[in-house]
Amino acid sequence: MTPPRPAWLLDLPLSAYPAVHHLQLQCIAARRSRRLDRDLIIATEHPPVFTLGRRGGRENLLVSEKTLRDRGISVIPVERGGDITFHGPGQIVIYPILDLGVGRYKVVELVEALEEAMVRTAADWGVIARGDKKQRGAWVSGRKLGSVGITIRRSISFHGLALNVNTDLTPFSWVNPCGIPGCTMTSLSLETGKKISMPEVRRSLTAHLAGLLNLALSPVSRTAVEELAADDIKLSPDSA
């Protein structure tokens, strides 16, 4: 059996979407140049925001952008696959910055690993979910629990998955989620009828993903990652 490859885990608190998106772009450049000498998993939550994937999605926005602005919610176009989706507090978002060549991952294998990590995490709370090859994500009896949307840039992956844990699902009713008319969203708290510990779900989700991708995760600070991305310096274990 191939031993797990070392990788970093950057566990962020609630963070603005544009700042984390910028950090991803810095990290894929650092990973490609080998300043970042191992893969990186970023785990976070975002304040309320809608993002539009490469398929567009404004036609799937069911309220005006002015209505969203009045509520302080931005609509941000990004490079990931997929259509429109919502991010907000109580939703865990995972961004894997992976060198697919080094890890010998195929794109479809990465997508399936992201789905399966959500499925296994849901099972830890007694929720039976499944992936779907036609409508990517994690599904519970036709209700969408989590979404997947990635981008590959010169063999480096970014963007990733979003798992609804204690998320306020109301904003999903303002769009056709992921471009699917009539799509019903759900969350772990809704399925279990109780509030779920976010730190516990983060640990479960990152552990399952690491196992599926054969990674040995070590924690790293945001400061260390930002310094690495800005400077031509190798990250050592002492920087974590």
Tokens describing residue 235: 């990250």
CB 54: neighbour CB atoms within 10 A? 14
Question: What's CA 49's distance to the chain center, in Å?
Answer: 14
Neighbours of 99 (CB within 10 A): 21
Q: Which two tokens stand for residue 91?
A: 């939703």
183 is catalytic: no
Q: How far apart (Å, rounded) are the C-alpha atoms in residues 223 and 76?
A: 25
Which residue is listed with tokens 């697919």? 100
Choose among 238, 224, 237, 236: nearest CA to 26: 224
What crossing angle do the helices spanning 198-213 and 107-124 adopt, rounded to 10°?
A: 140
> Considering 178, 183, 188, 220, which one is annotated as catalytic?
178
Instruction: Compute the residue count for the chain.
Output: 240
The catalytic residue positions are: 178
